[in-house]
Structures are given as structure tokens and as C-alpha cells.
């Protein structure tokens, strides 16, 4: 089996980043790769990304990440990405990577993703230019994910921040759901016979879900999994036994944001 450790929504700043070194250290013995599902920093300050990556640089296993909405908040996404990559973290943005593990090759495709909603609450490309731009951003993100998934060998994992199915958003306020994920991402995952999709962002959602096509989806936002990371095994995407410690206590949400707002 290929073993995948995953967590999202670390929301690290300079003071909390060092705590993740100890919290994630056991993953080197339990997994073949560590996936970080966005919102790595508190508010997109490159120094926060540098502090987190510096804490993880000697973890001892490949680390693959995507950015989240917090990581782009200050319009410095390129600097955040450069800070992470400078310490050996692979950051994907509509791109893919193949990793050789002890039990075979693993394809990982990643992008931040975007909102747009599902079913009757799905945004449509109609009306105001602002709404068309919103839907266009969701479509571009999903198309880049699909291209990246097709570029790597099976088994394929989709690494996202936004959710690719509604099931892992159950528990969120209904009015927030269209801003937490997109059916376009779900369709991209299903069309490419993906083995597992991992995301964060939905702090009040649930961990386990599936796409309409049956692809297992795991919401690994730290407030949802309640620990430093989860370990999933391929094939199947089921959880593997883990001895991970409780997650460190950095804030889950922006300090000035109400809990019902988009993450």
C-alpha cells in the first residue's frame, strides 16, 4: 500500500510554525508522502510560509502542497510559493508530480480550486460580469486540475483546498457552501479516474465523502480531523492506523472573522 499523510488549514504564523515540527514528525515513519491541503499560513505573509517550511524542511519525506485562500490574501502568492519551495516543499498550481514510493509510483495533481457550489446551489455563467468572472475562475481551476491529473500515472491523487464534493461540506452553514467547493472540481476528478481526493477549507464539514462517480474524498482541515494529520492508504483511500499526536493549538480562523464566513 502507498501511505499518504495529509492535513490542511494549519494557519501557521511565526509563533506557531515551530509547533508543527514536532506534530508532524511521526509522519516520516507512517507515510510515504505528506500532503498539505492549503491555508498553510494565517494571512499570506511570506515570512509565515518561510517559518513553516523551515520547521518542516528536515521532516524526512516528500511534502506536496497547494495554497489556500488565506495564502493568497495579501496578493503575494508568488512570494509565499517561493518561500515554501525554497525549503523543498513542492507547491502545485494546476500542475502534477509523480513520486516513487516503496510500493510504487504515485501521481499527485494539485490546485487551490475555487467555489461555485453544487446542484441547485451551483453558480451559473449568466448575468453580471462579476458573476461570469466568478464562474470563469471556477472553470479555469477545474480545467487545470483535469489536465494535471491526466498528465500523471495512476494511482492519482487530487490535492485541493476547496472541496470537490458536497458530502464533506455537510455541517457547514448552507449559505456558505457555494464558497467552499465546486461541482466542476468533482467532474474533473470523476472523469480522470482519480483514486483519492484530499481537501481542506471546510472547518465545520465532515471528513469522509465520495464524488458522484465514487471517488473517495477526505476533508483534512485540521479542525475536522482533530489531530496533526491523518494517514490514508491506496488503493481504497481508507484511513491507516496512526499514532499522530494531537494537533498544536494555532488559531483555526482569522482572529477577526466570524465563524460563519468563508474560511
**104-114 pLDDT tens trace:** 999 999 999 99
In the sheet that holds 63-66, the strands lie side by side as 90-91, 63-66, 33-37, 2-7, 230-234, 238-239
Tell me the sheet residues that pair with 216: 210
pLDDT of 249 strictly over 60: no
Q: Which CATH superfamily is domain 2-239 in?
A: Metallo-dependent phosphatases (3.60.21.10)
How many other C-beta atoms lie within 10 A of the C-beta of residue 255? 7
Q: What is the band of 241 on the pLDDT scale with cuts at 50, 70, 90? A: confident
Who contacts 133 (Cβ-Cβ below 8 Å, separation ≥6)? none
Q: Which three cell numbers stand for residue 245?
A: 499526536
pLDDT of 253 strictly over 70: no
C-alpha to C-alpha distances, 47 to 41, 66, 83, 103, 233, nearest whole angstrom: 9, 17, 8, 36, 33
pLDDT of 62 strictly over 60: yes
Per-residue model confidence (pLDDT) at position 166: 97
Give per-residue pLDDT as tens, 223-240. Answer: 999 999 999 999 888 888
The larger pLDDT score, comparing residue 103 to residue 207, is at 207
Per-residue model confidence (pLDDT) at position 120: 82
Contact 34, 53 (CB under 8 A): no
In this structure, of 9-18, 115-124, 179-188, the range with the lowest mean pLDDT score is: 115-124
How confident is the prediction for the chain on average, in pLDDT? Answer: 91
Give per-residue pLDDT as tens, 75-84. Answer: 999 999 999 9
pTM > 0.85: yes or no: yes
d(CA 135, CA 131): 6
pLDDT of 204 strictly over 80: yes
Contact 17, 50 (CB under 8 A): no
Backbone angles phi, psi at 248, to 5 degrees: -70, 165
Q: What is the band of 261 on the pLDDT scale with cuts at 50, 70, 90? A: very low
Amino acid at each position: 500500500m502507498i501511505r499518504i499523510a495529509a492535513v490542511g488549514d494549519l494557519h501557521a504564523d511565526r509563533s506557531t510554525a515551530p509547533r508543527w515540527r514536532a506534530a508532524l514528525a511521526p509522519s516520516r515513519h507512517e507515510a510515504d508522502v505528506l500532503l498539505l491541503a492549503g491555508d498553510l499560513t494565517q494571512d499570506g505573509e511570506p515570512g509565515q510560509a518561510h517559518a513553516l517550511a523551515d520547521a518542516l524542511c528536515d521532516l524526512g519525506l516528500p511534502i506536496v502542497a497547494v495554497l489556500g485562500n488565506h495564502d493568497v490574501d495579501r496578493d503575494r502568492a508568488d512570494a509565499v510559493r517561493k518561500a515554501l519551495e525554497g525549503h523543498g516543499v513542492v507547491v502545485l498550481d494546476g500542475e502534477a508530480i509523480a513520486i516513487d514510493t516503496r510500493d510504487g509510483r504515485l501521481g499527485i495533481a494539485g490546485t487551490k480550486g475555487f467555489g461555485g457550489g453544487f446542484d441547485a446551489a451551483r453558480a451559473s455563467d449568466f448575468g453580471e460580469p462579476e458573476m461570469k468572472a466568478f464562474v470563469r475562475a471556477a472553470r479555469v481551476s477545474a480545467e487545470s486540475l483535469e489536465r494535471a491529473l491526466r498528465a500523471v500515472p495512476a494511482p492519482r491523487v487530487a490535492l485541493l483546498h476547496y472541496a470537490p464534493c458536497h458530502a464533506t461540506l455537510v455541517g457547514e452553514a448552507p449559505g456558505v457552501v457555494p464558497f467552499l467547493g465546486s461541482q466542476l472540481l468533482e467532474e474533473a476528478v470523476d472523469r480522470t479516474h482519480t483514486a483519492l481526493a484530499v481537501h481542506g477549507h471546510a472547518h465545520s464539514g465532515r471528513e469522509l465523502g465520495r464524488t458522484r462517480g465514487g471517488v473517495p474524498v477526505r476533508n483534512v482541515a485540521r479542525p475536522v480531523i482533530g489531530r496533526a494529520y491523518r494517514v490514508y492508504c491506496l488503493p481504497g483511500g481508507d484511513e491507516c492506523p496512526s499514532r499522530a499526536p494531537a494537533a498544536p493549538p494555532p488559531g483555526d480562523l482569522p482572529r477577526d472573522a466570524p465563524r460563519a464566513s468563508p474560511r
